[in-house]
Homo-oligomer: A and B are copies of this chain.
């Protein structure tokens, strides 16, 4: 494979760089079938969703098994400001460089954005400037419905939990059993397929419902969920802070079964994590069924399959498992899959998207996949969770850095989204930059420890000076980077990331180390948490009483061999967002520990993490409208 794409588009760039939506709207995207054809995908390998999106079917993997994988590149970053340091933009720009200028087969793997931030503060996530995924409105809105499918399935499970408790509270064991296994016209009862899973779990080796003893009837029919143990929350892909903590069941028909619970943003759903980490339809079916929603009063974990739902959830998710093919401004292919919010969730693009992409580009080609936030969060989870489940090894890890963020780490004033930047960020201050490079250095060292070659991509802003940029380069090389490259892909598209592309290619071709995880799976939950904490610079870990109890519980339930997914602020190596640079010696507090058993990880909550963002006084939505004459979206950023 490799080389000579037919879809590459020449960009005409303007100065100053116009608004993202204007750049995106000015380019007529290619029909996605052309992008697919360029990847040797035949129409039976994908389903079109309009003219510019297509779902690539998982079945394509069966046909390309013999093909060797391409190079695997992960993009992480330094500890960001609330404005973001252009990680998605760099990911897209690099791929435009590789595909449109360096004649490589390349696929960009990105996460589907949440509509919460799109209408809230942050805006969309399609990249920016001349490095974008297009059509950017379709990328940011609905896409092909994966997040909606997650919302629907997550909430069906939530409804089933409360309703099951309700029905159990009003019915005898026998009545429950009669309803679960009703006699047919001939008076014969049967277990439906999913019920055999519960019977097996309970150790009941019978296939005829009439053979069950009264004790077995009780064990089978009564889940006896402990309401206080329920960890499953409802979700919504909207920034709705008033749903963070709610009471449900206050209607008269629910007979006083009021319960405190709340909503998370949809992308924080365990089902999103399942989607990101699954490897096949059969594997997804098992993971969805294994999801634990809480315990019985006797302390046994209750799963989606116990509730009868593993199959139905899989049906709701059957199309979502297929990644969505789109294109960059320069006509290179993009696979969009799974979701963001790496601070509270797993936050990587999916394993299946990466696997398909690696086969499609083939040997000598490149797959560039994004991991959320700084390397403490995104890259760490990419390596220790995602690569552990996928069996894939990246050859190169990119750390995206900006002069702006390094100045902040060096002691610059606070950066607040929606407020004008302080002058310190717009005028030369090499001292601030140099001081901030301790943050960059730690990200490089931590990332290098996994065995990948680290390339630093310095995402250049027009206010950056040569001296500042050189300071970053020097610090990067001193910390052990394979290379450090200045990029101007925001202003120039792929052309601005050609040097980065060359550096990444060299890094991939010169790997000397195997993949090394930060911790093995067979140590205790606490030992794993402590290994990660140490990489943050912590001197120790402090567990709340609640966290201690939960660790004990998960260990007793047999889940201690899972990897760890820390839920931690992205704004500091530590738990305190205000601690910039490279803090050390602090004690990392673990407030609570939860399990995403189906997805396959334990997630400690470091301090208080909001799992549902809010809207500001003037959200982005004020500017968003439709030109009803042209049908074009306006005001989307």
Contact = CB atoms under 8 A, between A and B. Distances in A.
B244 A254 contact: yes
Contact of A260 (B156, B250, B636): B250
A318 B246 contact: no
Nearest to A138: B319
Nearest to A260: B250
Given A148-B145, A151-B151, A253-B241, A311 B48 contact: no
Given A156-B119, A626-B315, A241 B163 contact: yes
Contacts of A531: none
A625 B625 CA distance: 40
Nearest to A239: B159
A149 interface: yes
A182 B416 CA distance: 15
A318 B148 contact: no
A311 B617 contact: no
Given A51-B47, A618-B182, A238 B311 contact: no
A618 B179 contact: yes
Interface stretch (A65-73, A192-200, A324-332, A519-527): A192-200
Contacts of A253: 241, 244, 614
Nearest to A195: B622
A142 B145 contact: yes
Given A179-B617, A312-B621, A635-B311, A162 B626 contact: no
Interface string A292-321: 000000000000000011111011101100
A316 B143 CA distance: 11
Contacts of A167: 616-617
A251 interface: yes
A631 B628 CA distance: 39
Main secondary structure of the interface of A (DSSP, over half): mixed
A164 B176 CA distance: 45
A175 to B, nearest CB: 8
Nearest to A289: B625
Given A241-B253, A262-B251, A193 B315 contact: no
Contacts of A420: 185
A237 interface: yes
Contacts of A251: 241-242, 244-245, 262
Contact of A176 (B47, B244, B257, B617): B617
Given A151-B151, A246-B248, A318-B626, A162 B240 contact: yes
A60 interface: no
Interface stretch (A74-82, A278-286, A488-496, A557-565): A278-286
Contact of A311 (B155, B239, B418, B624): B624
Contact of A319 (B142, B156, B160, B312): B142
Nearest to A47: B50
Given A179-B616, A180-B617, A420-B185, A152 B248 contact: no
A158 B194 contact: no
Contact of A119 (B185, B236, B252, B312): B312
B254 A249 contact: no
A86 to B, nearest CB: 21
A622 B285 contact: no
B242 A625 contact: no
Contacts of A160: 615, 619, 621
Interface string A269-285: 00000000000111011
A635 B310 CA distance: 13
Contact of A254 (B163, B242, B252, B633): B242
B162 A621 contact: no
A174 interface: no
A171 interface: yes
A380 interface: no
A49 interface: yes
Contacts of A240: 155, 158-159, 162-163, 234
Contacts of A96: none
A545 interface: no
A160 B241 CA distance: 10
A629 B137 CA distance: 35
A193 B621 CA distance: 11
A247 interface: yes
Nearest to A156: B238
Nearest to A633: B315
Contacts of A192: 622-623, 635
26 contacts: A47-B49, A48-B50, A49-B49, A50-B55, A115-B152, A115-B156, A145-B145, A148-B152, A156-B238, A163-B240, A164-B617, A171-B617, A192-B635, A242-B259, A245-B250, A246-B250, A247-B247, A281-B628, A308-B622, A310-B625, A311-B621, A311-B623, A311-B624, A311-B635, A312-B624, A314-B628
Pairs A-B, 6 closest by C-beta atoms: A311-B625, A148-B148, A159-B240, A312-B621, A245-B251, A47-B50
Given A245-B249, A245-B254, 14 more contacts: A137-B315, A145-B145, A148-B148, A148-B152, A155-B240, A163-B239, A164-B617, A182-B618, A244-B251, A246-B249, A247-B250, A285-B626, A285-B628, A311-B624
